[in-house]
């Protein structure tokens, strides 16, 4: 790491801070070095001031969600890594009277837990997130989803803390949610209001079970991976093709670089060995897959997994 992150950025704020914080245990890959400092703000005021100071001093600022869609460099990362899992930022708010038509979920709330909670309450409209590990903020940033829909399908409005520390609210009419993409501006997503419908709890829970089982049967959920490595590309005729299918047709299942290998169960998953996993191996294998799929099909794959660190980001 090359940037020393001064404690003056956060010493007077209501935060938990850990210098030289290991990031590997906080990711699904279990790979990666340390952050200069890992900070968990305990309230919005402290978060806002920290964001302002990092913006003012040009200190790198990254947000760590559930770690399910992330590869961290073996060398670690400079600057501040934000963890938004303090109790104040994990709140889910239901109206106290009348029918429940909207719910406000804060950025650090678990989408997996919310799926189950809504199903128990008989609230439909979020079942498409079953089996997708994420925080609400992380899911919104990439419009996470799968075969049955995406989080954007349920959004009513989103609040964002802008780089200057001020909060802005964006209504659904001004937002675009496309495949693994949204126009939510840069900044820290604070919360989302979700549109839901009251329904028989048994029916909602049955759909949740169906969607989760589909993922369980079609993906290597027990392996050490970060989920799908690549987005499904759009072909020249405008149709979207499965990245896993293209990788499979290029005969890359089982391909290995060091500790990283292409899953034989689902070709869009790069998995790692438990004992000697390295981020550089995953990055090198992802690059090799990209090259070989282009050679075989003339299609350029785009990563879905986020890479942190100068040595693997290219």
pLDDT of residue 275: 80
Low-confidence ranges of the chain (pLDDT < 50): 1-2
3-state secondary structure of 54: helix
On the CB side of 180, CA atoms within 13 Å amount to: 16
pLDDT of residue 223: 83
Total Cβ atoms within 10 A of residue 16: 12
Helix (H) or strand (E) holding 243: helix 243-249
Both tokens assigned to 148: 């049955």
Just list the catalytic residues. 180, 228, 304
DSSP string, 274-304: SSS--HHHHHHHHHHHHHHHHHHHS----B-
Contact yes or no for 64/19 (Cβ under 8 A): no
Contact yes or no for 138/153 (Cβ under 8 A): no
Residue for token pair 């890594």: 81
pLDDT of residue 1: 39
Contact yes or no for 251/294 (Cβ under 8 A): no
Total Cβ atoms within 10 A of residue 205: 17
Name, in order, each residue with C-beta under 8 angstroms of 185's C-beta and a sequence gap of 6 or more.
160, 162, 168, 170
Q: Which long-range contacts (CB under 8 A, 24 or more apart) does 12-20 make?
A: 13/41, 13/46, 13/49, 13/50, 14/41, 14/42, 14/43, 14/45, 14/46, 15/39, 15/40, 15/41, 15/42, 15/46, 15/50, 16/40, 16/42, 16/86
**pLDDT tens-digit profile of 96-130?**
666 667 899 999 999 999 999 999 999 999 999 99
Domains of the chain in start order, with CATH, are 7-87 (3.30.43.10), 90-218 (3.30.465.10), 220-314 (3.90.78.10)
Gap between the Cα atoms of 26 and 45, Å rounded = 25
CA distances to 81, 160, 269 from 66, rounded to whole Å, are 13, 19, 18
Count Cβ atoms within 10 A of the Cβ of residue 155 and give its class: 0-12 exposed, 13-18 middle, 19 or more buried. Answer: buried
């Amino acid at each position: 790491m090359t940037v020393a992150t001064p404690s003056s950025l956060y010493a007077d704020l209501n935060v938990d801070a850990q210098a030289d914080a290991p990031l590997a245990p906080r990711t699904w890959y279990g790979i990666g070095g340390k952050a200069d400092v890992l900070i968990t703000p305990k309230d919005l005021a402290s978060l806002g001031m920290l964001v302002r100071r990092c913006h003012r001093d040009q200190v790198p600022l990254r947000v760590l969600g559930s770690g399910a869609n992330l590869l961290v460099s073996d060398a670690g990362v400079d600057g501040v890594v934000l963890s938004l899992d303090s109790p104040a930022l994990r709140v889910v708010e239901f109206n106290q009277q009348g029918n429940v038509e909207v719910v406000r979920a804060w950025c650090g709330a678990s989408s997996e837990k919310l799926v189950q909670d809504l199903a128990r309450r008989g609230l439909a409209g979020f079942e498409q997130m079953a089996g997708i590990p994420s925080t609400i903020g992380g899911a919104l940033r990439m419009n996470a989803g799968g075969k049955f829909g995406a989080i954007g399908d349920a959004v009513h409005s989103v609040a964002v803390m802008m780089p200057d520390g001020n909060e802005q609210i964006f209504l659904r009419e001004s937002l675009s949610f496309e495949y693994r993409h949204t126009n939510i501006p840069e900044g820290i997503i604070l919360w989302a209001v979700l549109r839901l419908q009251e329904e028989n709890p048994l029916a909602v829970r049955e759909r949740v079970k169906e969607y989760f089982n589909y993922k369980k049967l079609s993906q290597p959920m027990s392996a050490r991976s970060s989920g799908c490595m690549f987005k499904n590309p759009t072909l020249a005729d405008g149709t979207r093709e499965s990245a896993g299918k293209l990788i499979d047709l290029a005969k890359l299942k089982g391909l290995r670089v060091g500790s990283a290998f292409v899953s034989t169960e689902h070709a869009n998953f790069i998995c790692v060995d438990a004992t000697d996993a390295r981020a550089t191996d995953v990055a090198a294998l992802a690059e090799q897959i990209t090259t070989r799929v282009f050679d075989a099909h003339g299609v350029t794959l785009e990563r879905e997994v986020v890479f942190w660190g100068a040595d693997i980001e290219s």
